[in-house]
Amino acid sequence: SLDYPRLKITLLEKEPSLAIHQTGHNSGVLHTGIYYKPGSLKALNCREGKSSMEEFCRKEEIDFEICGKVIVAVSENELTALETIYQRGRTNGVRCEMIGVERLHELEPHVAGIKAVHVPEAGIVNYGKVCEKFAEQIRQQEGNEIICSVKVTAIRQKTQRMLVETENGEYEGQYVVNCAGLYSDKITSMTQKPDSKIIPFRGEYYEVRPEKHHLCRNLIYPVPDPDFPFLGVHFTRMIDGSLECGPNAVLAFAREGYTRSTVNFPELAEVLSYSGFMKLALKYWRAGAGEMWRSFSKAAFVRALQRLIPEITAEDLEEAPAGIRAQAVLPNGKLVDDFLIQQNKNMINVENAPSPAATSSLNIGKHIVGIVAKRF
């Protein structure tokens, strides 16, 4: 909008305020792009997006910190995967270093590990604060609107314009951008059949008591299981000074299922009847069962953390708010492992934008605006 002042934006938000869901429920990490397949949209957008995000935060005086992180191998059988991550990082242009035990303990004295990759450029920020500043800039431009508490019920083509119907009335424009996160497939289906379905995975966190903050200086990650599509529970120092650990990854029984007891039966039935989910569950049943066990057993969760920091105990942890990851899954059971942005006439659908979408958000936005601007 700032680069194209003639384009006017009306932003429709289902909730009473912004950043209620994924933006306000993540670990607040500025990712470097070390994990992602070279040439992928994740890899390309993460590097540039991180630089843009840092520049934006400096300009708008949003607190952030480049604190660095370590990805730690705790056993010999993790060394091959660690080397793969290191080489992928180098290919992606990430500044990283393979380090031994002595250097690892200089960085993180309480970590158990035999080798690690040090990523000094990783950082932390509060993406809720970033979103507030985005909103402020949108509102400052004449003709723009942000309208909250409006739920979209239908989208229709009306000659050369688009009509968006909501529970609170209709809105008309020349172009629609669907970035509805947990409901992106639902919005897509209002004009076309989506290629995938969003499966909600809940990520549960614990907060470490202040007297044990010394156990972790910055960001500590395990070597992810190459056979499981999530990073594993890790330690994250937050920009407000708190220390969190998590998340696991368990099927949420509702798209907004932030607690284990939250169940939306129609949404759950839709997931369980989806062939893509059943194939995914069969492929990852063993890892999925472990994640579910860690969800119900704090002791099991702690044991996973103790592989990284043996001194951590259950008494050191208090439950923290969970987050929901909107993950697109194809009918063949494969996870969409990259950003997926599709154009359909006068509409763009952001169908899959998991991590590192927050880090990459300015770059993703620039890409989308470039597509839209060509139509005017």
Domains of the chain: 10-22+128-196+336-374 (3.50.50.60)
What lies within 8 Å, CB to CB, of 357 at 6+ separation is 339, 364
Q: Is the peptide bond before 120 cis (omega within 30 degrees of 0)?
A: no
Q: Identify which has the larger pLDDT, 371 or 136.
A: 136
DSSP secondary structure, 32-47, as one string: -S-SSPTTSHHHHHHH
Cβ–Cβ < 8 Å for 190, 154: yes
How far is C-alpha 237 from the geometric centre of its chain's CA atoms? 17
First-to-final CA distance of the chain: 13
Cα–Cα nearest to 27, from 214, 245, 225? 245
pLDDT tens, residue by residue, 73-115: 999 999 999 999 999 999 999 999 999 999 999 999 999 999 9
Half-sphere exposure of 335 (CA within 13 A, CB side): 19
- Structural tokens at position 182: 């947990």
In single-letter form, the type of residue at position 268 comes to L
Nearest CA-CA partner of 28 in 306, 340, 320? 320
59-77 average pLDDT score: 97
The mean pLDDT of the chain is 94
- Mean pLDDT to the nearest integer, 24-42: 93
* Angstrom distance (rounded) from CA 287 to CA 310: 22
- Look at residue 61 in the predicted model and tell me its pLDDT: 97
Task: Tell me the C-alpha distance between 229 and 66, whole Å.
Answer: 26
Locus of tokens 């990783």: 122
On the question of pLDDT at 120 being above 70, the answer is yes
Write phi, then psi, for 166 (nearest 5 degrees).
-130, 175
Q: What confidence tier does 374 reach under pLDDT thresholds 50, 70, 90? A: confident
- As a whole number of angstroms, the distance between CA 342 and CA 218 comes to 37
Res 19: pLDDT: 94
Residues listed for the chain: 376
Whole-angstrom distance, CA of residue 30 vs CA of residue 53: 8
Banded pLDDT at 6 (limits 50, 70, 90): confident
Per-residue pLDDT tens for 287-321? 888 888 889 999 999 999 999 999 999 999 999 99
138 Cβ contact partners less than 8 Å away, ≥ 6 residues apart: 1, 9, 11, 144, 146
Cα separation, 235 vs 321, in Å, equals 15
Please report, as a single letter, which amino acid is at residue 257.
Answer: G
Instruction: Answer yes or no: is pLDDT of 1 > 60.
Output: no
| Separation CA 373–CA 376 (nearest Å) | 6
Residue in 240, 242, 262, 238 with CA at minimum distance from that of residue 250: 262
User: For the residues of 288-321, what is the DSSP string, one character each?
Assistant: HHHHHHHHH-HHHHHHHHHTT-TT--GGGEEEEE
Nearest to 117, CA basis, from 221, 40, 42 = 221
Query: How crowded is residue 273: how many other Cβ atoms within 10 Å of its Cβ?
Result: 9
Rounded to whole angstroms, the Cα distance separating 66 from 119 reads: 10
pTM: 0.93
CA 305/CA 111 separation, integer angstroms: 10
Q: What was the pLDDT predicted at 131?
A: 96
